[in-house]
A and B are shown apart, each in its own frame.
Chain A
Amino acid sequence: MILRVVVLLYVGALVGLPLVFVFQQALIHGLGTFFRALGDHQMDTAMILTAKVALIAVPLNVLFGVGVSLWIVRHPSWLTRAIDTLIDIPLAISPIIIGLVLELAYAQNGWFGSGLAALGWHVMFSLPGIVMASIFVSLPLVSRQVIPLLREMGNHQEQTAATLGAGPVRIFCTITMRSITWATAYGVSLTLARVIGEYGAVLIISGNIALVTQTLTLNIGANFDNFNDYQGFVGAALLALASIVLLLILGVARHRERKRHDYLA
């Protein structure tokens, strides 16, 4: 009972209060001002860029995550064991370092920069760089959800389906994907959250050029640096809203996944 109160106070103060505060600040001048602030050109351009990045980076990482999970679990070898370890590295690296390593490899004076530049491809201060940074930071989020599930599931169901005459595509769609749907959904929401919310890695690689390479998170940061706190909070409120939606999806995914688990047990 006392513990319950302490925990509620702790989580409330650390997480709940800031969340409420973001919306309070964004609406402090009333709804009218808020809606007018939504039309801010720089912010809208940044929002569109963030959406573009997410649309490219998230599907790529989901594809990679599901594929590599199947590979690691179903065809283990020395190579998959290495990948299994390496894939977690992004979780332990500071986003600033992630930005820095990409710069060192792909900037004009980096390892491949001049070669790519000759082909007309610029990674630094442009969309490809931002996408790469986003992929890097969120790389393991899908596979970390899917791998344990595949391990636990085994392949008896798939073998049964095969004995019943199902082809590979049918097996994948009706058995494999069906079992990992919610775990994948959970991973996708985490990936999306991370991609939309990335700051440090994108800050270095994009150069933070307003109206060109400024994502929504960078735009919020820039507004605060320029003492334009209100506009910053409007952007922050939008992102907070997005994260609440993601949170709901996360909750549903977790719930469904647990239900499936109970059913199996």
Chain B
Amino acid sequence: MTISLNGVTKYFGRDLVLDDVSDDVPQGSLTALLGPSGSGKSTLLRIIAGLEPLNSGHIELGGRDVTNVAVRDRRIGFCFQDYAPFRQLSVFDNVAYGLKVQRVPKAQLRREVDDLLSLVRLEAFANRYPRQLSGGQRQRMALARALAIKPEVLLLDEPFAALDAQVRGELRSWVRELQHELGITTILVTHDQIEAMEIADRLVILNEGRIEQVGTPDTVYDKPANDFVQGFLGPMTVLNGVACRPHDIELCDVGLGIDARVTDVVRLGFEVRVVVQTSSGESSWVQLTHAEAQRRSPFIGEHVSLRVRTTADLFR
């Protein structure tokens, strides 16, 4: 189901949190709403779900105007950041909640819930309570609960924010596969640009209530529409007064580039950051791969020369 936002505007009191936001989310896509905190991305998600009223604009789901349709009639799968488990209900009853509301017959309900639980790999936990689950398991329960009503739109609010790094990585790829398999139009909110680029096939970049850019991860990364997008999507540094990405700078033989002195070397395992000061006094840094760093082994105080890699270098 397509989602279209037309001029969505929202005030909290006198603060403008969403300023004339318009976008068309294609059927079956996985869109990430990406932006710093306070950019209005969660509010936009809640407005699409109907959890928050809007001041002006309208929202269509599959061509139907739902601006004034109540939450419970929108049939949207929504996952909250804290997963909002129904603490007094078992995992089974959590997932069954939406089906019970629809008065699905008992046998069918049992079957459907069992199917969902095996989809999210929680079959063995049906009779547990939310407090007995780990963060990742709760997340999967919340997803199964949202999927139970067979929504045509799935909205995920910071779905991985509360998980530790390893679980987060696993769940990301799992959610991505699941979304491809089910083909549900999905929007997820995140402040993590790496997560957004890894999972989504479409990015909507929000800042201070306005859309800065919409596009595939590649387009947005390689052709950022403005400084904000460029700065937000990855680390930036300045060389010779020009903004560039630290991994686009290379260390070359003295005399071939801008002269500089190494002031610090930070090893992060897979990458090494070389902090430098150019002869003009400008501070900058270079990102080297582990292999590059081993080959060159930069040390503090070393005199180096820097230049920005051009596309041509890659084919040399």
A and B touch in the complex (CB under 8 A): no
Using a CB–CB cutoff of 8 Å, the interface residues on chain A facing chain B are none
Which chain B residues have a beta carbon within 8 Å of chain A's beta carbons?
none
